[in-house]
Structure 1
Amino acid sequence: MLWDVPNNILLDEGKLLQLERDEEGSQNKRVDVYWLQFMETEDSNSSPKYPTLTTIVKAALSLSHGNADAERSFFSSCRALTPIRSTLSERTLDFLMTVGRSLLTYDNKPHLIPINKELFDMGHVAYKRYNAHLEERLRQEEEKENKKRTRKREV
């Protein structure tokens, strides 16, 4: 089993690591970079200096640290889907969420968003896509109505 590690070896490696720990700037390093420097350390025989500790740290770093991002997104989408907006399509909800996340860049202050040619171009493209979407929906509804009329005539 992976966790079948003798405690005395793990404690010895931990104590040795504490004595040799990198003192300079270790607080400013990412946790994976910090541990990598010790995982790559070799003893005088060119074998890993901390093999047991390396196994434990690798296992711990590979664990999921929760699903906070997914839950945060779910909570945000629940706030966007009020009873009045309960019939929003998935696509529209996605657009609302994208705009909301983009506004966070400007501290939820839309008046800070720079008005420039790129923004106008994106708005124009979005408008064209929306009109195309509406026309397609209208065409599909007309087709549906025509099929209903044809069925009624056949009966």
Structure 2
Amino acid sequence: MFQKELIKSLPINNDFLRHVQCLQPLARKEQSSRTSIMYLARDLPHLLTNEEVDQVGAEWRVYEMADIPEDWIKKSTNSLNDVVEYVPIAKYWYHVFSIRTTIGTPQYVTLTKLVKCLLSLSHGNSDVERGFSQNNHLVSDERSSLNEASINSLRATNAGIKFFGGGKVHLVPATSALLSNVQEAHSRYVKDTEEQQKLIKNIDIVDGKHASDAEHERLEENEIELLNEQNNLQKELMNATKMLEEGSTRLATALSNKAFDDVNTAEVLITAANARLAVLNTQLIENNENLNRMRKKQKK
């Protein structure tokens, strides 16, 4: 029943919202993102002319090939539980908008216009804010050491009281299942604690056995990373070459037809492709050197 209500109320089949996901930094190089940004450029009424829509396509190609720093996307990583904190999307695009061409002009003129419009669309987040508010009430200064499981349990208890008793504890039905769970709560807690301690001991034993192989494994992992990086660089090199060919073709066609608006679009593609090719060639040389050094270390 609950799932049906969600499916009915949420805009799951909304094409526009589905295509807006292309603005996520991690979706930048996906093939579907190029289709999505063109859909959005055409679907927003009275925003872009036909020439500007074409310019968006060219600028998105340049954006796909751009060398985006990792700290524009990810803020930090908690090494204890591998939790990645991402930079807010508005701040990410602020950095992207600041990218300049070799002559100092903005790299993404029309794309900036479109993305700013898309990011200004309002969205509801009242449920999320309500959840934060509830957590603030639960985790006071005296209870700041509560772990995630305890907070989730308190939230579940609070939700249960609201659902079964209308927010009043004394109105919650004292069923046999509820009484049984209360009686067994401590024994389950003790059992969970013991299992966690056993798990910690097993991890320590395994870590001790594999300590001698850690360096060798690290070198192998680094080699795999370098090979993956090399593969990605070669793919990007191929894409940049294709973009250069496309820009050259469009430039020749534009000059032949005397379509000067298309000349600007072609120049954007050619300039960006040449710059990207130079960077990629340098990175490939550096990658090969690092790979050779890594393999020499493995032979020792």
TM-score between both structures, scaled by the size of structure 2:
0.26
Whichever of the two has the greater Rg, that structure is: 1
Greater share of helix: 2
Q: Which structure has the higher relative contact order (CA within 8 Å, separation 6+)?
A: 2
